[in-house]
Amino acid sequence: MKYDVVLIGGGLSSLVCGISLQRTGKRCLMVSGGQNALHFSSGAFGLLGFRPDGSAVERPLEELDKLPANHPYRKVGAAKMHEYVNRVKPFFASCGVMLDGDPERNSWRLTPTGTVRPSWLAMSDVTLYEDSVVSIGRKALIANIAGYLDFNTAFLAEGLEKAGVTCRLEAVALPEFERLRTSASEMRSVNIARVMDHDQVWKKFVEQVCVLLRDEDVVVLPEVFGLHDEHILEQIRESIPARVVFVGTMAPSVPGIRCQSALKTAFEQAGGEFLMGDEVISSEMDGERVLSVRTANLGDTVLEADHFVLATGGFFGRGLQATAEAVSEPVFGLDVDAPEERTQWYNPDFFAPQPYTRFGVHTSENLRAMKAGKEMENVYVIGSELGGADALCEGSGAGIAVMTGFKAAEMING
């Protein structure tokens, strides 16, 4: 089978790159292992939230020249970064994902533990605030689903109380959740969202919330609504006579999954082929060119392409692999930027920056992978597979995925 581009990995960067390529007439195949970082996202995207000293960034584009030379944004380039940030909202809207926020200026979001964090663009579940002091209202009713432990109302209430919001906690019990509850491990965000997707269930829940509502001007709900259809969120907002604010839950992330499936649909609607639950197990190379790959599920079928995009993520996505001796890239055996000594991989403080988050595939200035010191002609690396950034401390994971996804598509289109 012959394609123009084979994309390895099915997360945010790969989908953005694949949709862009497919819409410009390239025939694409995407090989996805299954879950990816979107399934565990907060529902908000970060471009650059923090400086190395931990202070919050207000205008990410103004900080680009301060980033280290091997940072993915430096490889995308300042001019392209300015162009791309304004392309993000229309791009996602064309895939059915409405994003809020100012592309050139950070806002804040309320986290599930009652703190605030800088955010760039966010899905419609997430409410963005202009100020780091959350100003959601005067009095809040925090309404949970009875027996649901992944929405930490105590932390949330305490955080809001500190910001001057009086909180009242309530839990709504619905018979529709009895079955989930008797199987004790089923009370998780996605399972709840599946039940809530039924019109009669979320409507009943909203009715109960309205009964509980006294003089509060804000109702805080967990992000467990609209797994497949984000319009439910709007309907809920219209049905409750107070401002409705959704707050994230423990993973998996309902808005993240909704976004992933919308992007996947957009990719397929544009004509892209998507291999779900598969992985590349071997490749054929000629010098600095990859000729073809094979996957676990397709067996002997040879997947040829002019270009290959590697977007398999960091360690969690298995884009990088660590043994006690070394860090490596398992698909093509590409060069990896990582120290040999494993004591230099981690920091003993869990909450301190971790060196391993900066590890990644070594690429040239134009995102082409390096192998044995030589630049590969037709392999592009995007997303968290790239080294040089501590996406976690910077708050730049989604931004790197989207920016490098756009960039690689342009490189391939020439």
Q: Which residues bind other proteins (CB under 8 A)?
A: 37, 40-42, 46, 111-117, 146-147, 149-150, 152-155, 157-158, 178, 181-185, 187, 248, 250-251, 253, 314-316, 318, 321-324, 342-343, 345-351, 354, 356-357, 392-393, 395, 397
- Which residues 6+ apart lie within 8 Å of 209 measured at CB? 141, 143, 170, 172, 219, 221, 240
Polymer length in residues for the chain: 414
Counting runs of H as helices and runs of E as strands, what totals does the chain give? 12, 22
**Could you tell me the smallest distance in angstroms from the CB atom of residue 321 to other proteins?**
8
Q: Which is nearer to other proteins, 126 or 236 (CB)?
A: 126
Element (H, E) at 244: strand 243-247
Q: How far is the CB of 27 from other proteins (least distance, A)?
A: 33
Least separation, in Å, of the C-beta of 308 and other proteins? 24
Contact criterion met (CB below 8 Å) for 314 and 360 = yes
Q: Which one, of 278, 214, 213, 220, lies nearest residue 244 by Cα?
A: 220
8 A C-beta contact, residue 22 and residue 267? yes
How many angstroms separate the CA atoms of 391 and 395, rounded?
A: 5
Specify burial of residue 179 (Cβ count, 10 A radius: 0-12, 13-18, 19+): exposed
Nearest residue to 381 via CA among 355, 359, 352? 359
- Sign of the Cα torsion 58, 63, 68, 71 reads positive
Instruction: Report the candidate in 192, 203, 201 with the shortest Cα–Cα distance to residue 227.
Output: 192
Q: Which run of H or of E encompasses 378?
A: strand 374-381
Do the beta carbons of residue 21 and residue 412 sit within 8 Å? yes
Nearer to other proteins among residue 292 and residue 357 (C-beta) = 357
Rounded distance, CA 155 to CA 160, Å? Answer: 9
Q: Which residues contact 44 (CB under 8 A, 6 or more apart)?
A: 109, 119, 120, 121, 122, 123, 126, 128
Cβ neighbours of 271 (radius 10 Å): 12
Hunting for tokens 């992000």 — which residue is that?
223
Residue 62 Cβ vs other proteins, minimum distance, rounded to whole Å: 23
